Structure 1
Amino acid sequence: MEIFNLSKLRIMSVTQNQLSGNLPSTFPYLEYLYLGNNHLSGALPSSISNSSNLHLIEIADNKFTGPIPTSMGDLRFLELLDLSGNLLVSDFSSPELSFITSLAKCKYLAILFLGGNPLNGIIPDSVSNLSTSLEQLNAPNCIPDGIGNLRSLILLDLSNNDLTGSLPATIKDLQKLQYMDLSMNKLISRVPLHLLCALHNLDTMNLGQNQFMASIPKCFGNLTSLRHLNLSHNRLYSAPPEEIWDLKDLLELDLSSNLLSGSLPYAITNMKMANWVDLSTN
């Protein structure tokens, strides 16, 4: 524990070892803390708010337990918070993940990773109050309507959760989004999929393994930045629109395991860059 009190120590990186034990109550001088891929355990101390110099906390892939303290929001210089791959849970007093509300005070927060925890809570609509600097969000359990206010997002990963319901209409406002992975959930298409056609900067769109029941919108052919498109394992029907085959720079296309019908047009030969096309089980 004494190593954390070294007054000139600013960066501590001990990732990918076999360290065990608990975190100390505070890190008075540290600015960057990398503890990922170890066997550390115990609760995250609420007194972490006293570590006022912290810019980065990366403690992914450990065995930390208990709720995430709301005092995280008092780390006013925080730029990256990676708590993924632990055993953290939600505060049982509320179905919502209340600590997310507290993070609105972190004006420099750009990256928030929470995936791979049994949080079993709901992302509150207050997620829309997070800093406009937030660029990457990996989190569990729901897509709140207010997500469209996170206009600086370039990465959105909500895959492999128990997401239900439909996409919020405000998702069209994430104009800077480059990577979107909503796969392996239970999302439905109550809101038209053509809303996603507004996301012109998308490089990767993964909606695989959901419950979307719709036809593929023609306007997907306008997403010329797409390199990876996965719509597999849904209930998509009708023939793929010919506009899809005009995505000349697409590298991977997976439309497998749907209800698609019809014939393939000669225009499929436009996809000169493709190295993976899967149309099986239709």
Structure 2
Amino acid sequence: MAFLFKLTIIGVFAVSLCQGMQNTRCNEGEADALLHLKSGLNDSYGGLSSWIKGTDCCLWQGISCDPNTNHVVTVDTSLGVVGGVISEGLCNLSFLTAINMVANGLTCTIPSCLGKLSYLTELVLAWNKLSGSIPFSFTNMSSLATLNLQRNNLEGESVLSTICMMTSLIKIDLAGNQLNGSLPLCLGNLSSLDYLSLSGNQLTGTIPSSLSTLSSLHTLYLGSNRFSGIIPNSLGKMSSLSDFNVYNNELSGQVPDSLGNISSLKTLDLSYNRFNGTLPASFSRLTALTSLRAYGNAFC
């Protein structure tokens, strides 16, 4: 009887050990990469307190793993982190599909090695203090659909030229940075684009007519820049556009009648420019329009 009891105890221990090993799903190399990332972050609020070596990283705060492969697919540090830099440890998580590091007080530049994350579909680094430009290596991110870098300190003329080559993008938000230069014609090549926000930068030049080829675009925010010239007549061909904002620029001339052809338009902000003449009579056809702002111009 005692012998059978001992065998039972040993059997229960073995099953428990086996279950424990099965429950630890995290790849050791990926856990080390996450700990490397943590080492560059200020976690004074304890948002990453569960990130402990030797524990299952798939159970760590802000981490999600694929249920079939157990690879880390999501990193979300938007709670708790209050400063630091993006370490290259993040680049070693080869199967990532989403990164969310919003409002983490991140400084320095965006690591160019992120460009090798070929499965990444969503990169959100908004509301930080990141500087420099967008690495050219991002053009290798063939799956990236959402790029949200709003409210940082990114600068330079090359950013939008790099964006032009990221043809998988559906949503681009670069508002509230320090981008300068003009809008490149090649933005019209982003045929899948649904959302484009470039408000609150230092962009100059004219609005390119090539934007009219973005047939899937619903939202176009160009406010608070230094755009000049006229609104191209061809923008009236943007049949999917619902929100169009050119607030606080240096645009002039008459507002084109063709904007009255955009039956999907819901909000239109033309305020604080140098437009003259009168608002087009064609605007009476905009039956979906719920908000029109045109003050701060020289309309009759």
What band does the TM-score fall into relative to the shorter chain? 0.7 to 0.9
Partner AA of 1:146 in structure 2: T
Which entry has the higher C-alpha Rg, 1 or 2?
Answer: 2
| 2:102 paired residue among 76, 84, 89 | 84
2:126 is aligned, of 109, 115, 135, to 115
Q: Is the 8 A contact 2:98 2:123 kept in 1?
A: yes
Cα distance change of structure 1 residues 266 and 150 upon mapping to structure 2, 3 Å threshold: same
CA distance in 1: counterparts of 2:104 and 2:117, whole angstroms: 22
Match of 2:116 in 1: 105
Kindly, what percent of the aligned residue pairs are identical? 30
1:111-136 residue CA offsets vs partner (Å, 9 max, x unmatched)? 0011111112222222212x211000
Counterpart-to-counterpart distance in 1, 2:283 and 2:84: 52
CA distances 1:105-159 after superposition (whole Å, capped 9, x unpaired): 2121000011111112222222212x21100001241424121221111100001
Determine which structure has the larger helix proportion and give its number: 2
Letter in 1 for 2:147: L
Indicate the residue corresponding to 1:74 in structure 2: 92
- The 2-side partners of 1:224 and 1:35 are apart by 39
Please report how far the alpha carbon of residue 200 of structure 1 lies from its aligned counterpart in structure 2 after TM superposition. 1.2
2:260 corresponds to: 245
Partner of 2:148: 138
Query: Within the alignment, does 1:175 sit opposite 2:191 as a pair?
Result: yes
Given that 1:31 and 1:55 are in contact with CA atoms closer than 8 Å, whether structure 2 keeps it comes out as no
Aligned partners of 2:90 and 2:114 also within 8 Å? yes
For residues 34 and 203 of structure 1, the distance between their equivalents in structure 2, rounded to whole angstroms, comes to 34
SS in 2 for 1:133: coil
Normalising by structure 1, what TM-score?
A: 0.80
Q: 1:185 to 1:33 in 2, by over 3 A?
A: farther
Sort the Cα spacing of 1:102 and 1:26 in 2 relative to 1 into closer, same or farther, 3 A.
farther
| Cα distance in structure 2, aligned partners of 1:59 and 1:229 | 32
Report the alpha carbon displacement of residue 228 of structure 1 after superposing the two structures with TM: 0.5
Note if contact 1:232-1:256 (Cα within 8 Å) is conserved in structure 2. yes
TM-score (norm 2): 0.75
Q: Check 1:105–1:280 CA distance in 2 against 1; reply closer, same or farther (3 A cut).
A: same
1:1-282 correspondence runs (5 A): 8=23, 20-21=45-46, 23=48, 24=51, 29-31=56-58, 35=62, 53-90=71-108, 97=110, 99=111, 101-129=112-140, 131-139=141-149, 140=152, 141-142=154-155, 143-189=159-205, 192-282=207-297
Give me the CA root mean square deviation.
2.5
- The number of aligned residues is 247
Corresponding letter in the other structure for 1:167: L
